[in-house]
Structure 1
Amino acid sequence: MLNATHEELLRRAKEVDLPTRHHIDGADEAGGGAAFAVVSPRDGQTLAQVADAGEAEVDLAVAAARRAFDTGPWPRLAPADRGRALLRIADLLERHREELALTVTLEMGKPITDAYGIELRAAINTFRFYGQLADKLTDESPHTAPDALALVTREPAGVVGAVVPWNFPLTLASWKLAPALAAGCTVVLKPSENSPLSALLLARIATEAGLPPGVLNVVNGEGPVAGRALGLHPDVDVLAFTGSTAVGRHFLRYSADSNLKRVWLELGGKSPNIILPDAPDLEQAAATAAWGIFFNQGEMCTAPSRLLVHSSIADRVTEAIVGRARALRVGDPLDPATEMGAMVGANHLERVLGHIGTGLDEGARLRAGGGRTLAETGGSFLRPTVFDQVDPGMRLAREEIFGPVLSVLTFDDLDEAVRLANATEYGLAAGLWTSDLSTAHQVSRALKAGTVWVNCYEEGDLTVPFGGMKQSGNGRDKSAHALEKYTELKTTWIQL
């Protein structure tokens, strides 16, 4: 538990030792001298000037990862030993939990209670899960003719380039790093330029936990430079990316223009949340819909940004959500009482406000929010926003906003609900509220989404895979299936 007052957390935040260099080959690396400012969205103040990677720094990091993979001990360790190293990382993350949570809050605006209770919990649990799983995997020996022996083995894929966004900087980094390391790969991580500080602290912790030099490297920098250099690098064997669909396309091009490295993409979403009249508890469905779109300031690829509600209950459900939106406490993310923090930065805030303006121009009805708040703080704060009378053809209903903006659409029958839900280029997640078991199964099968939540939203644990369909990407994070991204299958046929 995080037991501290707002004043205590303000003081502790000032005491956090924020890293500013790259982490390459087991040590901090200043690079060529270029730097960029990391600005806190809570007050618009610069947190640190952080080393900015160009191609030279990416080359250094990849070379370190390549040496560690080709000649170092990590891929050759017994899986149980790799697992123990990941468990040590998890223990150290727990020990540094408050420091890491404060860093996440400072750099991306997440409420401190969510950073500590959700973000860090997820990161810690991820390293523990893969630490425990590392020596539980088995190879295959298929039944063949009696004069032959066939072996199918999984081998580490090599050097992994991992590029992760700012909305869950430690959770999403852990979803890439832990399975890649468990498989025996080495990694070069490029965090978002908005949130490099927590990733650098994670790298320090991994080195403290005993990872050999070069096994985990972190380079800071902008996507068009450092991300591009990593995507094009001929010594990177696998690229794992979470972010926008537009940038995901770039990584596919980088692969085609370099060494045809495997590219695994977890991209955007415009997730539908369907509420039927027979929902077990309409108040709970409305409360969960509101929580889902406003949690993490709506900066989630899985956010249920399209509420599809049956016309017979639309007014009741919408009024409940509007009430919650108006009552939600927006404030300093370092205040434990804050329920919704700051948008990640001024540019992103303006982008979301632009979507809101477009919705108004298109004729949708604004029911709550719609504008900036707490501007006097210098921070990037937005009121929780709800639109109804949204037409499926409006940009509000089609484009990913990545903010606390809900679009309410209505339907009259189940076929229409499914048709509206699938009328998107994305296919990441969906929600369904019903008391009918047959409806739950039939609609879940009909929805084109990687995850379907029934009578809940954003639930699950590390035993189940996460990822999308259509333009929401490919491959899966979490679960044992994530290891498939970081291993190669080898067949050995022995004639007896």
Structure 2
Amino acid sequence: MQFGDFYYPLPANEPVLQYAPGSKEKAALKAALKQLKSEKIEVPMYIGADEVHTANKSTMHPPHQHKHVLGTYSEGDAGHVKKAINAALKAKDKWANLSWENRANIFLKAADLLATKYRFQMVAATMHGQSKNAYQAEIDSACELIDFLRFNVHFLSEIYRQQPISVAGIQNRVEYRPLEGFVLAVSPFNFTAIGGNLPTSAAMCGNVVVWKPAHTQVYSAQLFMRILKEAGLPNGVINLIYVDGPVLGEECFNHPDFAGVHFTGSTGVFNHMWKTIGENMSKYKSYPRIVGETGGKDFVLIHKSANPDVVVAALLRGAFEYQGQKCSAASRAYLPSNIATEIKKKMVAELKEMKMGSVEDFTNFVNAVIDEKSFDKIERYIKNARKRDSGAKVIAGGKCDKTEGYFIEPTVIETTDPYYVTMCEEIFGPVLTIYVYDENKFDDILKIVDNTSPYALTGAIIAQDRYAVELATNKLRNSAGNFYINDKPTGAVVGQQPFGGARASGTNDKAGSILNLYRWLSARTVKEVLTPVTDYRYPFLQEK
């Protein structure tokens, strides 16, 4: 029996290491990169207490050096999905009944292991596996993932302390229990931190999880799973499997104990999930929680009062960090006519200085896109923009080469049509499309920004005129779930800018905030009458 209210206070964000010349962290990271590259690992699935190897092996390659082999992983089938579900359900009761402090401390220990023992190994794994430069990998796979773990423990403590009022003779309380069944977590390639947060946020609340990462993120996902195991995560609480999406959906969405899905990925896949879940409602014990963060076509709107240097910095970082493979990346920009020429000139000049290549060369700002499928898709958009009748032109970059790795130069397309295809469709690569508007028609461009894209994830206004800032903030209220003023539309920090968008960008359940955790809890209200009534009659029944 336990006594005491165990509360976890608000943590500080994990400090970002800068990897400056001559620093200890730079030397440690380079050593980790060298070590991982010299090894070829064999990655199993983690189902219950078992490390499962199969005969069906897939190889893992750095996107920037696709002929190099980092190792192999075992691909699963429908049978492995069933085993993962069964392992989760077997672990469910014991995990749900574990005391809060013992659950919480597993994830806090994992955060400490990430911050110390495994920091450089995790950053290096993300660099090799997902082609991120040192800084991008540091803020993702170290800082953000550590923050998710620590802040979510605090947020859950806050939820558990929220209790209803009690009046004389009546004692009220609320219990927060996990969902009835298992949660499916489906994570993308682009953020190691998302891969870690989707299963752990649900598990922290007492749920059991089947976790499927993107095939191109297995290299870092398996390392995080090993860290969780070392931190004391019991067998079966999170089950890591590598299967095709349709196979996964067929088993999970037809299971009566399916309780929810925590998803980050494409809008099309999420829409299909939602439709399938809806059609299968009669099979489930309860209404599943459907939480998704999907696509984006994120904008930067520049006002005529903006500082051109601020604009250029925001566009270059916002559009081309991690090769534009962030769902928050700046992909469409609206330049006012009075400063458009200056902005374009400075941006083109800066892009000529921007280096591209392997992550092992720390002077490279840009690395490779994730795989050949992505490369081919992005290249098609660039080739189409080069056609004479396209209504667009490439004013910077545009070179594509997949000989050694999947390299696409940071590319700027200028169009005279605000509804040109690359202003509307998500590309998910290092491509920024700009449109120049009449500096005196700010109200008109606000309407265009709002209705150009079905997405509403991130957006930014850059202006020195506060009336323009307020007008844009109000008019674009539904256009972006994360809105930035005089900044790029990327780089949300856990606890500071809860992340998520609406419209076609998802359910806006704000990863990195208390809001997201409510989705993985089911509340029960308990009322106890201390002195029960003994007569059904109310006073109003009496006439005298």
TM-score normalised by L of structure 2: 0.84
Separation in 1 of the partners of 2:256 and 2:399? 46
The AA in structure 1 aligned to 2:359 is P
**In terms of mean alpha carbon deviation, does 359-368 or 231-240 score higher?**
231-240
Is 1:427 matched up with 2:459? Answer: no
**Who is 2:114 aligned against?**
93
The AA in structure 2 aligned to 1:337 is T
Q: Which of 467, 473, 491 lines up with 2:506 in the alignment?
A: 473
SS at match of 1:264: strand
CA contact (8 A) 1:140 1:151 kept: no
- Give aligned pairs, total: 489
Is 1:484 matched up with 2:512? Answer: no
Structure-2 change in CA distance of 1:143 and 1:135 (3 Å): closer
Matches for 1:402-481 after TM superposition, within 5 Å: 402-412=428-438, 413-423=441-451, 424-447=453-476, 448-457=479-488, 458-463=490-495, 464-474=497-507, 475-481=509-515
CA contact (8 A) 2:274 2:290 kept: yes
CA contact (8 A) 2:155 2:513 kept: no
Structure-2 change in CA distance of 1:148 and 1:224 (3 Å): same
**Who is 1:369 aligned against?**
397
Is 1:309 matched up with 2:309? Answer: no
CA contact (8 A) 1:161 1:231 kept: no
Separation in 2 of the partners of 1:354 and 1:478? 35
Structure-2 change in CA distance of 1:151 and 1:301 (3 Å): same
Structure-2 change in CA distance of 1:7 and 1:102 (3 Å): closer
CA contact (8 A) 1:465 1:482 kept: no
Shift of 1:117: 4.4
Deviations 1:445-475 (A, max 9, x none): 3212111011112244212421111111102
Separation in 2 of the partners of 1:10 and 1:477? 30
Shift of 1:494: 4.2
Shift of 1:224: 2.5
SS at match of 1:49: strand
**In terms of mean alpha carbon deviation, does 231-240 or 360-369 score higher?**
231-240
Separation in 2 of the partners of 1:27 and 1:415? 60
CA contact (8 A) 1:411 1:417 kept: yes
Q: Which of 236, 261, 271 lines up with 1:249 in the alignment?
A: 271
The AA in structure 1 aligned to 2:484 is W
**In terms of mean alpha carbon deviation, does 258-267 or 284-293 score higher?**
258-267
Deviations 1:17-53 (A, max 9, x none): 634110111441125x323233321121243331112
Shift of 1:410: 2.2
Shift of 1:110: 1.5
Shift of 1:233: 3.5
**Who is 1:277 aligned against?**
304
State the identity %. Answer: 26
**In terms of mean alpha carbon deviation, does 454-463 or 199-208 score higher?**
454-463
The AA in structure 2 aligned to 1:161 is L
Shift of 1:150: 4.5
Structure-2 change in CA distance of 1:254 and 1:54 (3 Å): farther
Shift of 1:145: 7.5
CA contact (8 A) 1:163 1:242 kept: yes
Bigger Rg over Cα: 2
Separation in 2 of the partners of 1:366 and 1:9? 39
Deviations 1:223-271 (A, max 9, x none): 2223553344332311011011111112112312433522111010001
Shift of 1:316: 1.2
**Who is 2:91 aligned against?**
68
Is 1:202 matched up with 2:243? Answer: no
Structure-2 change in CA distance of 1:441 and 1:459 (3 Å): farther
Q: Which of 366, 371, 386 lines up with 1:345 in the alignment?
A: 371
Separation in 1 of the partners of 2:278 and 2:395? 47
Runs of 4 or more consecutive aligned structure 1 residues displaced over 6 Å after TM superposition: none
Structure-2 change in CA distance of 1:113 and 1:143 (3 Å): closer
Separation in 1 of the partners of 2:366 and 2:270? 29
CA contact (8 A) 1:26 1:216 kept: no
**Who is 2:141 aligned against?**
119
**Who is 2:408 aligned against?**
382
**In terms of mean alpha carbon deviation, does 431-440 or 350-359 score higher?**
431-440
**Who is 1:180 aligned against?**
202
Structure-2 change in CA distance of 1:266 and 1:365 (3 Å): same
TM-score normalised by L of structure 1: 0.92
